[in-house]
Amino acid sequence: MTQQLFEADRSTISLDRVTVADAMHPGVVTCPLETPLATVAWMMAVYRIHSVVVFRDDLESQELWGVVSDLDLVAAASAGELEDRTAGGTAVTPVVLVKPEDTLAHAAQLMSEHEITHLVVLGAELPHPIGILSTLDVARVLGGVRP
């Protein structure tokens, strides 16, 4: 993100002027559908992340299936279902995708419309995940905090 955005008065920051690439977290942690939810929780704790992308692993393709967020884990744990569930049984479907060049205004609109906290960012050259954009990333930009 440009230095000007962070030096500007926070009240004037516009999500139309910031791209997903400026705010996203690069890299994606993934797991197959059948991964136990307790293992997903372990992955989040070890990597200090708030979401894991779930995919269907078959011989023909690796299709994105959904996202398990930390809030999904809390809901499963509070229902006493953490040990009985898998990533595929918990993941939000379908995955909502954005491109690095999309604006944060567009991304925020998608988050609101789908009532989700994480978007998967697809690479421009190869259609595979290159990062995650979360509501915390949007808040960081709105607060004028450097990534």
Instruction: Report pLDDT digits (tens) over 14-24.
Output: 888 899 999 99
Whether the predicted pLDDT of 35 surpasses 60: yes
Q: Considering the domain boundaries, does residue 135 fall inside one?
A: yes
Residue 132: which CATH number? Answer: 3.10.580.10
Alpha-carbon distance 9 to 115, whole Å? 29
Instruction: Report pLDDT digits (tens) over 56-65.
Output: 876 455 677 8
Tell me phi and psi for residue 68, to 5 degrees. Answer: -100, 120
Strand partners, 120: 97, 132
In this prediction, residue 1 carries a pLDDT of 46
Whether the predicted pLDDT of 37 surpasses 90: yes
The residue range of the domain holding 98 is: 14-142
Number of domains in the chain: 1
pTM: 0.83
Tell me phi and psi for residue 34, to 5 degrees. Answer: -85, 5
